Amino acid sequence: MTGRTSQSETTESKVELIKQSSNGLRGTIVEELSNGLPNFSGESEQLLKFHGIYNQDNRDTRADRKRAGLDIEHICMIRLAIPGGRLLPEQYLAADKLAEAFGNRTLRVTTRQGIQFHFVTKQNVKALIRKVNEVLLSTYAGCGDVVRNVTACPSPAPEIELLKLGELANQISKRYKPASAAYYEIWLDGENITASQATGSGGQDEPLYGASYLPRKFKIGLTTTLDNCIDVLSCDLALAIDERDPDMIHVLVGGGLGRSHSDDTTMPLLAKPLTSVPREKLFQIIDAVISIQRDHGNRADRSHARFKYLVEEWGVDRLRGEVEKRTGLQLQKLHHMEFPNSCDHLGWIEQSENRLAYGIKVPSGRIADTAGGAYRTAIRELVAKFNLSVRFTAKEDVILTQIPVIARSEIIATLKSFGIKLVEEYTGISRSAFACPALPTCGLALTESERFLPTFLESFNQLLDGLTLSHLDIEIRMTGCPNGCARPYLGEIGLVGRSKRSYDIYLCADRAGNRLGKIYAADVATEGLVDALEPIVLLYAAHAHDGEEFGDFCHRWGIDNLKPFAPEPRRRNIAVAQGV
């Protein structure tokens, strides 16, 4: 039982009322677009999420502006929903151009295979969204209480391509886009440019969602039984195509990672096995699952509104029974599901006799031109020159696909000439690490993440070097708050922002995304993080079995046997709350 759930509260949250009275996600967005103010109102802020827009402010300038008596620096973040993270060359090049024209000259690859434009001003939002739609992309349902961007394993390997994940991700995405025409009216002056491509019907009614949409965001991920690179079990609805019987899809339910430091009844949970169904029945099952969350999810308390809490409350058997009732299908039980692997899809991958793909490590998904490498220019030039399609991984990296075999050395030479580190030049820990954006744009960030990760990795690499352990391969994930956008509870080392200058450390998750981490140390000062990890690294080096991965080692050793090595929390109340 996970605390407060659907039945125990009756008053609907404020966001529910905003959705209901929004006239199909319209609200007053149109009026506010031309009111001359630099930001949208609080109510519109909620509705804008459904359109793929977050109202934010530049937190780096907050203090100075306050001292100068100025309002905060209002900015918007615009998120592209890209099913399965797959872009055609012209779509990638258009996104690159838009980052230059309307953003902060960076494209931010997200952990759900989308792209974010940061630092977009309110006056540029409409132009940006129109341009996005002109290349048949969309921001609709990039955020909001609906089915979000559908993730899918991006592997370009021929045996995975045969399973057509991209196609299925597109179908799912299209089916569950909101049907309201609000998006087209507001941003495209009524033209439904993408209707036949990536979005829903564009009608006025919401046949599936209803006027209140879902209680909370709903994430669907699609992979194969071979590879869990997208951390599919972190999704509300996890789908895995059986590689031995590609017509069969395994369905798991109730994953979600977000939690709150101040509420012990919130927690990360992994999706649990529900059933296995043939492809032709899949949409019946998804429709039913979504409708159950729509009807029974918690609409009173948003911190308990994710589907995972309903699944915890009901149990999987009751849920399966309800799906059977709603579909009229007899469902078989799926008993167990464990993924063997989580591939990073970096480096060279053979697509066919004369085509290759190349996965580029992009530190924390920030496609930018910086002193550390001109990622944006290099990728743009290669995509344009060789007409390459692009895929984003759920670990925030970029795969260039359909590279002619003869261009192999030119690709490498170009990357090098732009100062980009090749995959094999990374240490194990730097290759796999990634972070959420956090400061300065994310309003929920308690501390740094993307900007601090390189400093942390440098110290951690130094530690390993000093111990002659630089060959160790440990996956590290960092976030600026417990919402967990970089899925830290599934990293072998998860660093979760606790306060302005401290993090909680999680250990024991496995590399393939089958097991969540557990808290090892709470509220560790930023400058003490590496020291806090040193004893565990030494223990691993001394006692790991042959080939045993770090997360598996920590799990075998047991968190209770690791905790004595942890530093004292900085604050006593946190020690008590976490049982450290």
Least distance in Å: CB of 315 to ligand SF4? 29
Minimum Å gap between C-beta 88 and ligand HEM is 22
Residues from 186 through 225 that contact ligand HEM (CB under 6 A) = 216, 219
First-to-last CA distance in the chain?
A: 22
78 is a contact residue toward ligand HEM (CB under 6 A): no
For ligand HEM, the binding residue among 81, 310, 357, 442 (CB under 6 A) is 442
Residue 22 binding result from ligand HEM, ligand SF4, none, given CB thresholds of 5 to 8 Å by partner type: none
Dist CA 489 CA 516 (whole Å): 6
Residues 3-32 that bind ligand HEM (CB under 6 A): none
- Nearest distance in Å: CB 179, ligand HEM: 23
Which one among 485, 496, 524, 533 touches ligand HEM, defined by CB under 6 A?
A: 485
String marking each residue 499-538 x if it binds ligand SF4 according to CB under 6 A: ----------------------------------------
Q: CB of residue 108 vs ligand HEM: minimum separation in angstroms?
A: 7
Quick one: DSSP state of residue 50? H
DSSP 284: H
Partner whose binding site includes residue 445, from ligand HEM, ligand SF4, none (CB under 5 to 8 Å by kind) = ligand SF4
The CB-of-526 to ligand HEM minimum distance in angstroms stands at 21
Is the Cβ–Cβ distance between 237 and 271 less than 8 Å? yes
Omega before 154 within 30 of 0, i.e. cis = no
Residue entry with tokens 């759930």: 5
Q: Tokens standing for 169?
A: 């991700």
For every residue of 352-402, DSSP letters joined together read SSSEEEEEEP-GGGEE-EETTEEHHHHHHHHHHHHT-EEEE-TTS-EEEEE
Helices (H), ranges, 388-499: 408-417, 428-432, 453-466
- d(C-alpha 157, C-alpha 391), whole Å: 12
Instruction: Please choose which of ligand HEM, ligand SF4, none residue 449 contacts, taking the beta carbon within 5 to 8 angstroms, the exact cut-off set by kind.
Output: ligand SF4
Neighbours of 397 (CB within 10 A): 26
25-64 residues in contact with ligand HEM (CB under 6 A) are 54
55 lies in the binding site for ligand SF4 (CB under 6 A): no
Q: List the Cα angle 509/225/280 in 5-degree steps.
A: 130
Q: Is 165 left (phi over 0), alpha (psi -120 to 50) or beta?
A: alpha
For residue 234, the partner it binds in ligand SF4, ligand HEM, none, with Cβ less than 5 to 8 A by kind, is ligand HEM
- Among residues 87 and 533, whose Cβ is nearest to ligand HEM? 87
Task: Select 269 or 374, whichever has its Cβ closest to ligand HEM.
Answer: 269
Point out which span in 17-25, 176-184, 307-315, 432-440 binds ligand SF4 (CB under 6 A). Answer: 432-440
What distance in Å separates the CA atoms of residue 338 and residue 415, rounded to the nearest whole number?
37
Tell which positions 448-487 bind ligand SF4, by CB under 6 A. Answer: 449, 479-481, 483-485
Residue 209, classed as helix, strand or coil, is coil
Listed residue (437, 415, 419) closest to 366, CA to CA: 437
Closest residue (Cβ) to ligand HEM? 258
Label residues 125-146 b or e (16+ Cβ within 10 Å = b).
bbebbebbbebbbbbbbbbbbb
Which residues, numbered 249-268, are part of the site for ligand HEM (CB under 6 A)? 256-258
Length in residues, the chain: 580
For ligand HEM, the binding residue among 122, 261, 306, 511 (CB under 6 A) is 306
Q: What are phi and psi of 399, to 5 degrees?
A: -110, 125
Q: Residues 18, 157, 329, 444: which binds ligand SF4 (CB under 6 A)? A: 444
Contact between 494 and ligand HEM per CB under 6 A: no
Size of the site for ligand HEM (CB under 6 A): 22
| Residue placing its CB nearer to ligand SF4 in the complex, 238 or 445 | 445
Residue 116 found at the interface with ligand HEM (CB under 6 A): yes
- C-alpha torsion angle, residues 332, 338, 339, 340 (rounded to 10): -130
Nearer to ligand SF4, 27 or 103 (CB): 103
Q: How far is the CB of 159 from ligand HEM (least distance, A)?
A: 27
Which residues would be at the binding site for ligand SF4 (CB under 6 A)?
436-438, 442, 444-445, 449, 479-481, 483-485
Which residues would be at the binding site for ligand HEM (CB under 6 A)?
54, 77, 110-112, 116, 216, 219, 234, 256-258, 306, 436-437, 442-444, 483-485, 487
